[in-house]
Amino acid sequence: MSAPRWVDGNRFTLLENGEAYFPRVFEAIAAARHEVLLETFILFEDKVGLGLHAALLSAARNGAKVDITIDGFGSPDLSPAFIGALTEAGVRVHVFDPGTRLFGWRTNLFRRMHRKIVVVDGERAFVGGINYSADHLADFGPEAKQDYAVELEGPLVAHIQRFVQQAIVEGRPGRSSPERRWFRRRAPPSALPSQAAAGAAQAMFVTRDNREHPQDIERHYRAVIRAARHRLVIANAYFFPGYRLLRELRRAARRGVQVSLILQGEPDMAIVKSAAEMLYHHLLRAGVHIYEYCERPLHGKVAVADDEWSTVGSSNLDPLSLSLNLEANVMIRDRDFNRQLGERLDHLMAHCCKRIEAADLQESSLWRLVRSFFVFHFLRRYPAWAGWLPAHAPRLTSVSHTPAAGAERLTEPARS
């Protein structure tokens, strides 16, 4: 994929939590006439997964070409009946890096396909952080997740459509793209279909991979933080970024930008909060405001800056998302959308969060000094260390058309 660029003429609709997201996505998929492309990290066989299942079957039976890609680590336990019904209807099911198990443990821990994307008929797309599982609905209970996605129309949809199509082609065994060499020029991409403007928003589709775009999302975050003049709000579920991004946050706060972080106060994993808390003193001293969302687990990955810029996507600000996983965000320049998302984040900070003050952090200064020393050096070096982990070309396994074989192929490694 070529370097991302700003595209004019788009319209965005903010979708908060599964209550807003799932009905819009399922309706769009079920009404598809030509094509459905879907990528997700998690697909569970619960009431949400069954709702998606029904929508996909409806699209396929109406004649649409349907391709779905699930992550082999995030979606390992779908039943033969669930998969078989899809493949019998003509849905092409692809599994990203299905791994063998070692003593019952999954071995494909790193380099996950963490994107959440839907494209319908090349006219409408959905991008965000919401998986297909019931824990994105409020009736799931105290563990229900707070999250965000966007529905978009306009010329950027064609860019997202081509990206997902290429990911399927390049991930198939025996059809992966050749490695780039200095003496081999890559063929220019084909022209995108023209699409009428749907709104006034400029937008950019930014992805992270382990070959050509390993730092794109983080680089855009850092550029926006540097450019911020009066306000920056970041809501991020898993927050343990690298040294350079932390440095930009501190610099922004010190030059007078109101920098606010919304992080997990009731995390789905205890280590998430423990890791973020290691950074609190460092950030608070520079004037960064820290809020812990305490109503339920925060799963969002969104931000707003000043009066125009926003982002919504799948990328956390932690080592997995910034250095290992495959991620996708949309960057948006639109005052109306910025105001809408900003108001929702303001509501969280005012009504659903606890603001953290330096006095709330109870630990000895000696321990803080020692811990800060090790955290500082880890943050400076972990992007380089991440490069030592296995970084192979993405592999997709296409599930066979028989229900029984479909279940087996979900956990077998791809053959090339």
Active site residues: 114, 116, 121, 299, 301, 306
> Measured between alpha carbons, how far is 127 from 313 in angstroms, rounded to an integer?
6
Strands 309-313 vs 231-236: parallel, antiparallel or unpaired: unpaired
Q: Are 230 and 30 in contact (CB under 8 A)?
A: no
Query: What angle, 0 to 180 degrees and rounded to 10, lies between the N-to-C axes of helices 80-88 and 47-61?
Result: 20
Q: Count Cβ atoms within 10 A of the Cβ of residue 88 and give its class: 0-12 exposed, 13-18 middle, 19 or more buried.
A: middle
Q: Which residues contact 223 (CB under 8 A, 6 or more apart)?
A: none
Measured distance CA(293)–CA(291) in Å, rounded = 6
**Looking at this protein, which amino acid is placed at residue 16?**
E
What contacts 332, CB < 8 A, 6 or more positions away?
A: 10, 12, 150, 201, 202, 203, 309, 310, 311, 312, 338
Among 145, 127, 143, CA closest to 39: 127
DSSP of 207-223, one letter per residue? Answer: EE-SSS-TTHHHHHHHH
Residue 63, class by beta-carbon neighbours within 10 Å (0-12 exposed, 13-18 middle, 19+ buried)?
exposed
Residue 67: helix, strand or coil by DSSP?
strand
Please tell me the distance from the alpha carbon of residue 33 to that of residue 111, in angstroms, as a whole number: 34
Dist CA 220 CA 40 (whole Å):
23
In the 3-class helix/strand/coil scheme, how is 295-320 assigned residue by residue? CCCECCEEEEECCCEEEEECCCECHH
